Amino acid sequence: MTLTIRSEARPPDGPVDDPSLSAARRRLRAMSIWTVAFAAWWLFLGLPLTDPILTFGWLWAATIAWRIDRPRRVHLRFARDWIAVVVLLQVYNLSRGLADQGVVPHALEMIVADRGMFGWLTDGRVPTLWLQEHLFDPDGIHWWDVFASWVYFSHFVVTPAVAVVLWLRDRARWLAFVLRWIMLSAAGLVTYFLYPAAPPWWAARYGLLDPVERGSTRAWDAIGLHGAGNLINAGQYSSNPVAAMPSLHTAFALLVVVFFLPRVRHRWWPLLLAYPLAMTFTLVYSGEHYMIDVFMGWLYVGLVCVAARLFERRWGPLSRARAERAAADRALAAGSDADAAGSGVRSDTVDGRLLTAGAQPREETL
């Protein structure tokens, strides 16, 4: 008599978690924690993206939260790729403050230029004075003041945020964007040393213009964000007051747009180009820049894009060739290891020759 016992696997109690859904939940939780922490820092201490080191830390944390399920070595790549960018931007920030040491900035030239270009529209005044006469209310905050403060704030967010998204999605395009970002910063820094220029609020302070209110962040208190502009305001007071020519605020806004224009349908171009125009209005209305500063910033963007393109055409093929050779070497090494592992024999390489375990390299006599 034969006794047969059949064992059937019982289905697990409760629903089975989908790995993709589980990863999505972890990402959602991690990004929620990052968002709450970032918002709290911004509201109580000020925007942390005004300093390159703080920017690096917060953006790195964002990439870790976004790819929370990845191993540690993946997260360490961010530090490896970004450390040079952070160092260069920190050097730019520190060096920019030295450009006004012991020099008298240029001021009258920008006033004359703006009056010459727009005086026929502004009754002979610079556009900043004309805009503030028609829009600025010292006793109240209007919607355009709030709009201007948000646009000014975006300068510190948009460029690094775009760079991080590109780093996550397309390293080649990230390298291209960072190259233009660094080149534009360097070109502006050199100009600040060679041609230190004062903004409208500085000219008004020293009697070269009628009174000008510096109002780029004045709307924060009015809408209840009392601490939101702390670091921005501190940066304004401690930064170089004669770094007005060119306007890198509007230059970075245009750079971000120009970088993506070739990949965007033409019908979306007006919407994208509205951003640098909004930045232009903000900077001129708030007394931060003249229109000639803005135009020079736009010119610098064009020159940098041309220079970067020439650099990529000259050095791009060499970099790609080196990358392809390195990839081929890695693939060859991986294939050799895989073959040795499949045959159960450990392999070593001596002078380019594959040896099995226990074998000794033979001496060859020429």
Q: Across the strands, what pairs with 295? A: none
Q: What is the pTM of this model?
A: 0.75
pLDDT tens digit string along 318-330? 555 555 555 565 5
pLDDT tens digit string along 39-77? 887 777 766 666 777 778 888 888 888 888 888 888 888
Peptide bond into 211 cis (omega under 30): no
pLDDT tens digit string along 102-157? 677 888 999 999 999 998 998 888 999 999 999 988 888 888 888 988 898 888 88
Domain coordinates in residue numbering, the chain: 77-328
Task: Please state, in angstroms and as integers, the Cα–Cα distance from residue 258 to each residue in 44, 107, 180, following that order.
Answer: 34, 30, 11
Most confident by average pLDDT, 195-204, 208-217, 295-304: 295-304
pLDDT tens digit string along 214-264? 877 777 766 655 555 554 554 544 455 667 889 999 999 999 999 999 888
Task: State how far the Cα of 213 lies from the Cα of 285, in Å rounded to an integer.
Answer: 9
User: How high does pLDDT run on average in the chain?
Assistant: 78
Q: Which helix (H) or strand (E) holds 94?
A: helix 72-96
Averaged pLDDT for residues 293-311: 94
Task: State how far the Cα of 138 lies from the Cα of 159, in Å rounded to an integer.
Answer: 32
CATH topology of domain 77-328: Vanadium-containing Chloroperoxidase; domain 1 (1.20.144)
